[in-house]
Chain A
């Protein structure tokens, strides 16, 4: 048990961010039918903006707000200007289009900020929760604990939004049948805006946390969206609690995999293997996505 505890704890931090990213992806999918490949890129540029502001000695709170606002604005820009032009195409094409947007954002971020070792330090890094078991001493920084708390809170919050509010009802209607909803008088653009802005806010928060927990490097942060998709798959692109549980499980199992001698070199494949296993063993009839 002693051997595994450190990795369970270290996996929780990363798992929390996979969970948060997964929730952000599923929320947008449930309300607009689009899988957002640009989720990681939008979050990354927010993190770079925060880094630049912190380097220039602006206050912490302002830097975080700037990061989240940047992500929200970019997400809004895409959702209002580009996404409506593709609304009549099939969902896969609409998702692939977000890949184009991701390339633009990543290209700009790398070009503007250049490649230099950077670290995004958050004040919550200073404190940590200590887990001591025998000789083993492992710490869960407050940032990662915050990530976990946020994942659960957001899941609850968004769940409530979708099920108990009018906006949530409209978002669900739009995802179900866009044309019919428009006929029924739901303001399509308005509801879409809410969905994209919400997703952008998630992306900004995830970007800050991932930049701190993983690495402040635009291309890597962008393609971390692929393991986040694994969490979304575990939630069957629908259930938020399952997405959160899946994300945390992926993180913990990926960390634990380091203790398996032959598998340690392949442990970055853990999210993909778990997602595939879920598909194979947990089929609920024909899924029309």
Chain B
């Protein structure tokens, strides 16, 4: 990434604080403004977008920081959603607790899924995680998601399916959108804090090579597994929020292909910048919704998507977010104040 190098550590830490504030501010601003501008269709769509951005942030963490490819994150999203639905319907837990429970389960499963990563790298790891996603697809197709019934699986039979109860202060669609935006800001801050502390440095060393990391005294098992856990947590939280937004989840919508698309579009959005996760969420939900709104045939939309994916991968290695960041940087350099920054 091209950046004007700061002249001192104080300058660097000031910059870091500002960028954190900008990130949180932007997300909260989106949360505030969009419900005033959007109609019911778009509020629902963008709520799903934001929820998926949380999952994309986890994928970006694994790939951007550690170079590890996980093609089972959407399955972890489903697992988190399952737990949240079960807790919400069956146990009557408050919404936040259900979300955290979903995040926690996916964190643990993510760490287990990450264990092969200690031995496998690159494409092989991608394949293994894809196999896990395939297995989850079959299981969730059979068991389905809880929708208010009793029993282990929580499926209702003989009466209407229930929607997941939303948090008391976010019952309407607009309020729920803002609620999800807050969760997104929290998760992005969590990831960013990890990046800036010991964990982030350890990940950078692991990425350089195991020999370098071990020589520097980094516990690879702990930090790599922790990265998988954090990515799993993001996916679980996203699943729970998605369940709350739509009201219910359907077992047919969690295929291995969805996990692969999540990874692909996260790469297209950009894995080195927090805005990449936001763009990934938009690509996953808002762009298809736009095409549907215009009445574009679903299969023509698929062709468009495939072409866009190819184009983005070929022309933009750091994703759309990277291109935007580069654009902003080059605009800033031309501003009159830029010269002063470099000099001091």
Residues of A within 8 A of B (CB): 35, 37, 82, 85-86, 89-93, 95-97, 99-108, 110-111, 223, 226-227, 229-230, 232-233, 237, 265-266, 268-269, 271-273, 275-276, 279-280, 283, 285-289
Contact = CB atoms under 8 A, between A and B. Distances in A.
B264 interface: yes
A276 B260 contact: no
B305 interface: yes
A266 B139 contact: yes
A279 B121 CA distance: 13
Contact of A272 (B134, B261, B302, B314): B134
B309 interface: yes
Contacts of A111: 297, 299-300, 303
A180 B261 CA distance: 33
A97 B314 contact: yes
Contacts of B308: 100
Contact of A91 (B123, B297, B299): B123
B121 A101 contact: no
Contacts of B313: 86, 89, 93, 96-97, 100
A106 B306 CA distance: 10
Given A37-B260, A96-B260, A104 B307 contact: yes
B135 interface: yes
Query: DSSP class of A's interface residues: helix, strand, loop or mixed?
Result: helix
B302 A106 contact: yes
B256 A226 contact: yes
Interface stretch (B33-41, B125-133, B153-161, B230-238): B125-133
Given A100-B264, A104-B303, A107-B303, A287 B124 contact: yes
22 contacts: A85-B314, A92-B122, A96-B260, A97-B314, A99-B260, A100-B264, A101-B306, A103-B302, A104-B310, A105-B306, A108-B299, A111-B303, A226-B134, A237-B127, A275-B128, A279-B116, A283-B119, A286-B121, A287-B121, A288-B121, A288-B122, A289-B125
A223 B257 CA distance: 8
B305 A103 contact: yes
B310 to A, nearest CB: 4
B128 A279 contact: yes
B124 A100 contact: no
Nearest to B311: A100
A99 B264 contact: yes
Contacts of A110: 299, 302
Contact of A92 (B123, B131, B257, B301): B123
B134 A271 contact: yes
Contacts of A85: 314
A86 B314 contact: yes
